[in-house]
Every structure is written in C-alpha cells, then in structure tokens.
Structure 1
Amino acid sequence: MLKKLVMLAMIIVPAGPVLADQTWLRCGALVDVDEGRTLGAHTIVVEDGKIESVRTGSPEAPNDAEVLDLSVLTCLPGLMDMHTHITSQSSPDSYLRRFTANEADVALRGAHYAKLTLEAGFTTIRDLGDAYNASIALRDAIDEGMVPGPRIVTAAKSLATTGGHADPTNGHRRDLMGDPGPREGVVNGAADARKAVRQRYKDGADLIKITATGGVLSVARSGQNPQFTEAEVAEIVRIAADYEMHVAAHAHGTEGMQRAIRGGVHSIEHGTYMDDETIDLMIEHQTWYVPTVSAGRFVANMAVVDGYFPPVVAAKAAEIGPLIQETFGRAHAAGVRIAFGTDCGVCPHGDNALEFQYMVEAGMSPADALRSATLRAAELLGRTDDLGRLRPGYLADVIAVPSDPLADVAALMDVRFVMREGGVYKTP
C-alpha cells in the first residue's frame, strides 16, 4: 500500500530523465577527495550509470554522445548524509501530526523531502527512523525510477525500550498508550530483541537503529539516561549480523553510549556527552561517530521560540543542542572515525550542507569534512568499491558547485548540477 502511495508522488514531482547511451561532463575543475585537492579542467565520461573514464582537459566527444557544459563549475562526487529522517520534518505541529497524518501523508511528504535532498547534492542517505515503513516504500520507488531522490539505506522504525526515546506511544493518554512490542519497535529483553530485528528484516530494512539513551524530541523527561542493557544491545547486534545488518545507536548520555559501544554497535549518532573515556572506547572498538551538529544547532535555536516545542522538549533542546559541536571537535581531534550526518528531518531537508560549515568551525579541515561525506560515508556503508569517488567503475554520482569547496565549504550550499547513477536531476 505504501509503495503505491509513494508512486503517487509522480503527480507532483517528475522522476529523472531517460539516460543517454554516453554522457560527457565537461568540468571546469574537479575535486580529488582522496588527495584533498582541486584539479583543473576534466571530462567525466558516463555510460550505463557508471563512470567510464575521467579524462584531463576537454577531449573531443563522439558525435552520438550527450555533452554537458559544466566548464564554469567544479565537479565532485555526490554527497552522502548518514543520518536523516526523510519522511518527516520538525515543525510546531509535529506532535499533533502524529494523530492527524495518515500513511499517505507521510509517504507523499517523504517524496517531497527526497527531491529537496537530491537537489541539494546528496545522492545517498541513511534514514534512521520512520513511521509506517514509509522510507522502505520510498527507497523502492526511487530505485525503480518512479520518483526522484537519493539512494536510501534505511533502518525503518527505530528500536526502543518501553518508554524509551523511540517508543511510539510516549506522551499518549492511557487508552491510546497500550503496550507496544517488537513489531512496533519496543524491546524489553533478549527475546524481544531477536523478534524486533527479524521483523525489521521481514519488513525490508537495511540496518537496525536503536535509541540507546533518551533523546531531545521525545516527551520523556530525560534526554540522556541509558535505555538498553548491554546484554540487550549485544543481542540486537548479534541477530542483526545474522541478517548482514549493522546497528546504529542514537546516544546522548555517557553510560548508554558506552553500553552501546561495548555491545558492538557500528555507529554512535549524536554522542553529545562523549567524554575522554568514551572517546578511547570508540577508538578501541573502531566505532563510527555521526555527529549531527546541524540538529543540535537547530533545536537550540528553536528552544527559545515560544510554542515551537513542548516545555519538556524545549528544556532538553536548550541543554543538549549547543553541546554537540564542541563534542564533535574533541572527537575529531582525538582521531575518532567520523562520517557526515545531519539529522535532517529535525533540521530542514535541503539544508544538509550547513553541516560542513559547522564541522569546519569546530576545527576540521574542508578536505576532511568533504571526505566525511564521500570516502568515509562509503566506508561506513561498506560501499568503497562504487561510491564516494570520481573514478572509472564507480556509480556516476556527480555534483557541481560554482567555486572550490576546499577553499570555502559554503560553496556546497549552492549545488548547480546533480547526477545520480547517470541520470541528471538538476542543471545550471
């Protein structure tokens, strides 16, 4: 049903164009993300959705090739955001919308946000929590060429404990609260953990997302208390591995973060109260860190806007939100493995590239910030053989901006050209 609803998005957002047999992109400059330097004019030859070759200068193209003039632009690999919620977006009526939005509303909003994200230059995303499995339907519709959007790797519905950050009935009155279980993503004990992971596999999810601590936007009191036992985390990780799925852990508080790391999760999301001991543990276990500074900055700003958040949420947003950028800076300086992520859906979709500016403000070089959204994100996904570089054999995910992003990362907020797997979705 949801898949059909997402396909209805064709009515309001046309899908990508038919691919030419061969497309030649004449770039004024090209960013080598491995070396962290910007090269001169290059031509990228695209065939069957992949990069056939990358050639110096502007060699003559065959008569039957499509030639796109990007000679005043700088080309670079499509960007990747490793923490989004593509089927929703924060607003003052978000909490009411839980009771008024139907599956169709969620699906069609997701199609709109996917288009915004792709046009912002993000050709691959991880989605870490949805409703109604809408991100699964959206992923499939995009893959089938029904609607435009980024490549989606999705966790579908997040896993929580009873009353935890992703318990879908938090804040409901008693007769609506019920007692949700593994099917709804609520886990208490090892048996529930096994069933919840297997349900996500059955639903079609690509990975598992747990809420290892309290969070900001839920109406529960604590934004940082631990919410899974280490044994529960380890069981989720163990069963997920049977289905070749990684586990991402939302975590703000130190204790819950450490339980998640020791339990074997693949990545920590947010990591607000990460201390030196936790940083050492991250490095020891080679756990990825996805900072989401954008969301922290956004909720901190909105916390002082009267009526934007319920009071219990505003208090947590004001406390937790401003801390993430500083935490990111310390983690980067210590050598923690970092992949780019924004938590867009909390902050507005399409503004994903603001994260680059926040990362640079906190001490990361523009080259490393760009690598976090290309090479490092590909490593996190296990896709280093086809994503994150402009090289022969890689998928033809190419974007172009008006100036050198290694000189000023703000250039990434002005994406003029977008190609995903050889299909052109935005032109100058």
Structure 2
Amino acid sequence: MKFHPRILAALFCLLPLQDLKAEDLLIRAGTLIDVDAGRVLRDQAISVADGRIVSVQPYRNGLAGGRRELDWTAYTVTPGFMDMHTHLAGDIQNYNIEAYLKATPEQDVLAGAANARKTLRAGFTTVRDVGSYNGFVDVALRDAIAQGWLPGPRMFTAGAYVTIPGGGGEVSGLVDAARIPPRMREGVAKGEAEVRRKTSHVLDRGADWIKMIVTGAVLTDGTNVNQSEYSEAEVRAAVETAGARGHDVTGHAHGAEGIKNTIRGGARSVEHASLIDDEGIALAKKHGTWLVMDIYNGDYIDTVGRRQGWSAESLQKNLDTTQAQRDGFRKAVAAGVNIAYGTDAGVYPHGDNARQFPYMVRYGMTPMQALQSATIQSARLLRREKTLGSIAAGKQADLVALACNPIADIACTAKPVWVMKDGIRYEGATK
C-alpha cells in the first residue's frame, strides 16, 4: 500500500512516545512569567510530581529533596501556550474543493497527528479545535493524544460544524449538496428545532463544544461574511441545548449583526469578530462574551493565498475584513473585553501559532497581556483555570522554556527550546 507523505510523517510521530513518562522534578527557572499576577520572577523553583505542579517558590539549595533537578536557569519559563482556534485534523490549507470532497476520515486523523506534533513543539500544550469538514475526526485525534498514543496538545473539540445548508460550514456553497458525503454534513441544520437536534447529535458523538457558523465565511466561496446565517433565536436554541448538558457554544461570526446575534443568543465566545462595531464591543463587555480574533492570518492569506491561486472571492473577502478586524481588536482591548488567543491554525501552517503574538502587541496589548491571552485567559474561556493556564501549585505541569524574554521581545515566543506537557518533556521547535 502506498501512503501519502503526510500519513507517513504522522505514523513516524508515534515512535518516540513509547518510553516517555512524567518525571518528578525540581525545575530551576532563571526567569518565570507569573501570568496570574502579571509579574516576572527570578530564580524560581518549580516542583513537579505526577504531571502536576506541587509548588513554586524562590530557589535555594536542598529543595530537590532527592528529586532530579532540571537546570533551566538560562531560560524564561512560561505556562504552556493555548490556542483557542485551531483546525488540527485534516488539511484545510488545500484550496482544491475536490480534494476536500475526497479526503477520508482516516487521512484527516493521520494528517492531524503530524499537525499535533508540530503544534506541541511550538509550545502550545492546549488547543480548542473548532472543527473539520469530516465530522468527528477531531474527536478521534483528541482521544488518541489523551491515551498517549501520539504526541500533541490537549484538545477540546467541536466535532462538526453546526451550519445552515450551503452555509459557511459546508465544504463550499458552490458545490451541489448531493455531492457532499454525509460525514461532512453531520451538523447541517436550519430552524430552532433542527438546531437543537443537531446540537444534541454532535454532543452525543463526543464533542466538547458546539461551533455554530453564524455568518458566511471568508474562505467559503458563495457565502457572504455580512450575512447572518443563524438568528439570535437559533443561537439561543443551541446554547440552551448544550448548556443543559454542561457544554458551551461558540459562534463563527464576521459581520456586525451576526456577532450581535451570537452574543445576545448567549454564546460563550465569538470567533473572528472581523467587522465588530462599537455596539458589538459594548455587548461583549456587558455579557462577558469572549472574543477570539485571528488577527495574524489575514497577511498569510493575502501573500501565500494569492501566490497559490486561492479564489478571487476569498482573497477579496480577506482584504475586506483584515484591517477592520485589527481595528476592532484594538478597540476591544481598550474597552477591556475578554480576549483569548486564537489563530485559525490550519489556514496557515501548523507550528507557526506564535506568529500572532507580535500582532496582538502591535494592535494594543502589552506583552504581558498577550501572554495572558494565550494562557490564563484561554483557560478561563475553557472554564479550566483551576487546572490550566498558569504556573501554580495544583495545575498541570505545562511549561515552555524560551531562550529569550518575551516581555522584552514578544516575538521570542516563537523560539521554544523545551516544552513540557503533563510533566513530560519534549524538544521545542528550536532544538
């Protein structure tokens, strides 16, 4: 049998994991970023046991107490980074619609294994994966990582897009629905009753979140980013159904009215929020809604997408939304709206997730705020701040060792030397 190169790469990812185990360690950090308090600490001792942080205190001789001491005095140690908008499974960079239609779930999961490894080595120990065209392949990938079968970030998954027929979550609004395999239409729903049914169906299949496509999409031809594809009432139907089972809803929304439908309908977060207006910002602030704004990848689409011949419609919609999104981001930061780090990884190459940090600083955040958005703030969005998101006693031992200080130079986040997840150490992308 002949395997695609991506599948071979994914299979080789499995080999190094067999003997990896969490160690009981005392890690001596030269510099530590305390995102809870927003401060920088020097010469700290991080005690790790059974994959969790036991204590954090100033270093002194004798603290190791028989545990192996790991010398990270040359590094700045941050919590593991968190990306709240990724697409690990499959290959959504492919601009050939026919390739989407032919992609099998097995291929998507195996490609996802390679993507997961790159993401982990880039310092991202937790991601929220917000959907793939082949339904529930992200769930399979999540479970394989959780079982220790392959290296990758901890995943919180959407399972399948809840989208209207021919909407922004379909393979393409220009493809006849009869040609789209049923596995790619698991969440297609119109009207409140059907939205409730499909929300339950997606959760029954193991999803952690519900992802609703509330407006048209930049990269889905035949859809309008300004057009609301779901009403406030339909969003609320999903929110109530998911909430009754202890799950949250996020809404993909570019247009101003769709953003407001998402917020008023009770969604936990808004993805993209490209054309958010002042009223939308005020609503997000009032309701405590999280914004996940992918302000880096517009540049990637306009350069690489143009060079590769992505559709003229998608390229134009990208131009129409990129700067507006960045302007809205700056206003949202100034207004104190909840913002979590999310990049749309998969539109651009996996492993480049840290490229967004400098953009967030350029458009209004301090370096500390940018780091907090990708750590403790993202943990709060997930409702996992008690166990994730900072270097503190009782939390998972998710750490990144950088050979530079991201407070002085935020682009330093792209240079992880070591990455630790659940107390297991991996070589970073710069090793």
TM-score by length of 2: 0.92
Structure 2 CA distance for aligned equivalents of residues 344 and 181 of structure 1: 23
- The secondary structure found in structure 1 opposite 2:173 is coil
Per-residue CA shift, 1:48-76, capped at 9, x if unaligned?
Answer: 11011113124335575232221111111
Task: Show the counterpart of 1:241.
Answer: 243
Structure 2 CA distance for aligned equivalents of residues 231 and 253 of structure 1: 17
Task: Show the counterpart of 1:348.
Answer: 349
Match of residue 44, structure 2, among 32, 42, 45: 42
Is residue 2:184 matched to residue 1:151? Answer: no
Aligned partners of 1:27 and 1:73 also within 8 Å: yes
Per-residue CA shift, 1:325-384, capped at 9, x if unaligned?
Answer: 222111111111111110101122111111110000001100111111111111111111
Deviation at 1:38, TM superposition (A): 1.7
Q: For 1:167-182, what aligned pairs fall within 5 Å after superposition?
A: 167-168=170-171, 170-173=173-176, 175-176=178-179
Deviation at 1:254, TM superposition (A): 0.8
Match of residue 139, structure 1, among 125, 137, 142: 142
Higher mean alpha-carbon deviation, 26-35 vs 14-23, is at 14-23
Task: Show the counterpart of 1:12.
Answer: 13
- Residue type at the aligned position of 1:327: G
- Residue type at the aligned position of 1:139: R
| RMSD, matched Cα | 2.2
Structure 2 CA distance for aligned equivalents of residues 411 and 7 of structure 1: 31
- The secondary structure found in structure 1 opposite 2:407 is coil
Deviation at 1:189, TM superposition (A): 0.9
Q: For 1:210-359, what aligned pairs fall within 5 Å after superposition?
A: 210-305=212-307, 307=309, 309-359=310-360
Task: Show the counterpart of 1:185.
Answer: 187
Deviation at 1:304, TM superposition (A): 3.3
- Residue type at the aligned position of 1:68: L
Deviation at 1:297, TM superposition (A): 2.6
Structure 1 CA distance for aligned equivalents of residues 85 and 204 of structure 2: 22
Higher mean alpha-carbon deviation, 246-255 vs 212-221, is at 212-221
Structure 2 CA distance for aligned equivalents of residues 406 and 67 of structure 1: 26
- Residue type at the aligned position of 1:220: G
Inter-CA distance 7–45: structure 2 relative to 1 (3 Å threshold): farther
- Residue type at the aligned position of 1:310: S
Structure 2 CA distance for aligned equivalents of residues 16 and 54 of structure 1: 30
Structure 1 CA distance for aligned equivalents of residues 279 and 366 of structure 2: 25
- Residue type at the aligned position of 2:145: I
Deviation at 1:210, TM superposition (A): 0.5
- Residue type at the aligned position of 1:155: A
Deviation at 1:182, TM superposition (A): 11
Structure 1 CA distance for aligned equivalents of residues 196 and 184 of structure 2: 9
Unaligned runs of 5+ in 2: 1-6
Task: Show the counterpart of 1:367.
Answer: 368
Higher mean alpha-carbon deviation, 363-372 vs 182-191, is at 182-191
Deviation at 1:268, TM superposition (A): 0.6
Aligned partners of 1:298 and 1:321 also within 8 Å: no
Aligned partners of 2:170 and 2:185 also within 8 Å: no
Structure 1 CA distance for aligned equivalents of residues 19 and 73 of structure 2: 22
- The secondary structure found in structure 2 opposite 1:67 is strand
Per-residue CA shift, 1:201-251, capped at 9, x if unaligned?
Answer: 111000100011011111114122100122111111110101111000111
Is residue 2:30 matched to residue 1:32? Answer: no
Deviation at 1:174, TM superposition (A): 6.2
Task: Show the counterpart of 1:3.
Answer: none
- Residue type at the aligned position of 1:424: R
Is residue 2:401 matched to residue 1:416? Answer: no
Aligned partners of 2:100 and 2:171 also within 8 Å: no
Structure 2 CA distance for aligned equivalents of residues 272 and 302 of structure 1: 20
Aligned partners of 1:26 and 1:58 also within 8 Å: no
TM-score by length of 1: 0.93
Per-residue CA shift, 1:11-52, capped at 9, x if unaligned?
Answer: 434327533551121211111112322211112111011011
Task: Show the counterpart of 2:4.
Answer: none
Aligned partners of 2:108 and 2:137 also within 8 Å: yes
Q: Give the percent of matched residue pairs that are identical in Structure 1 and Structure 2.
A: 38
Inter-CA distance 356–8: structure 2 relative to 1 (3 Å threshold): closer
- The secondary structure found in structure 2 opposite 1:140 is helix
Inter-CA distance 169–303: structure 2 relative to 1 (3 Å threshold): closer
- The secondary structure found in structure 1 opposite 2:270 is strand
Structure 1 CA distance for aligned equivalents of residues 335 and 22 of structure 2: 46
Inter-CA distance 347–251: structure 2 relative to 1 (3 Å threshold): same
Aligned partners of 1:10 and 1:147 also within 8 Å: no
Aligned partners of 2:90 and 2:107 also within 8 Å: no
Is residue 2:119 matched to residue 1:128? Answer: no
- Aligned pair count reads 421
- Residue type at the aligned position of 1:207: W
- Residue type at the aligned position of 1:402: A
- Residue type at the aligned position of 2:319: A
Structure 2 CA distance for aligned equivalents of residues 419 and 177 of structure 1: 40
Structure 2 CA distance for aligned equivalents of residues 197 and 414 of structure 1: 39
Task: Show the counterpart of 2:70.
Answer: 68
Inter-CA distance 175–370: structure 2 relative to 1 (3 Å threshold): closer
- The secondary structure found in structure 2 opposite 1:399 is strand
Structure 2 CA distance for aligned equivalents of residues 312 and 21 of structure 1: 51
Aligned partners of 1:215 and 1:224 also within 8 Å: no
- Residue type at the aligned position of 2:392: R
- Residue type at the aligned position of 2:416: V
Match of residue 114, structure 1, among 116, 125, 135: 116
